[in-house]
């Protein structure tokens, strides 16, 4: 009987401990989809892509497709190596 109670108590502590550890490792990010307008070489420019810039924690991130289109640079993503190739 004591073994059964000890097993249940240990299980509860393990479950509680693992959920606390999981909660401690999660991060919250605040992101806002932006409606920024583009200029290219001083002139208004509209990208063909429909992806919008995103602002995360005060930093603006542009879609790769927009950068590729504006700079006419070949940009590819290699998912096997986890690299972005520019040029």
Per the structure, the complete domain to which residue 17 belongs is given by: 2-86
Residue ranges of the chain with per-residue pLDDT less than 70: 1-25
pLDDT of residue 74: 93
H, E, C per residue of 36-66: CCEEECCEEECCCCCCCCEEECCEEECCHHH
pLDDT of residue 3: 60
Contacts of 73 (CB under 8 A, 6+ apart): 67, 86, 87
pLDDT of residue 51: 87
pLDDT tens by residue, 45-68:
999 988 899 999 889 999 989 999
pLDDT of residue 14: 61
Instruction: Work out how many domains the chain is built from and give that number.
Output: 1
What's CA 57's distance to the chain center, in Å? 12
CA gap 52, 34 in Å, rounded: 6
pLDDT of residue 9: 55
């Amino acid at each position: 009987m004591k073994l059964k109670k000890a097993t249940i108590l240990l299980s509860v502590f393990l479950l509680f401990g693992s959920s606390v550890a999981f909660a401690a490792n999660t991060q919250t990010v605040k992101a806002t989809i932006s409606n920024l307008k583009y200029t290219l070489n001083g002139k208004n420019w509209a990208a063909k892509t429909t992806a919008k810039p995103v602002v995360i924690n005060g930093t603006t991130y542009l879609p790769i497709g927009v950068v590729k289109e504006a700079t006419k640079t070949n940009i590819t993503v290699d998912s096997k190596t986890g690299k972005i190739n520019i040029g």
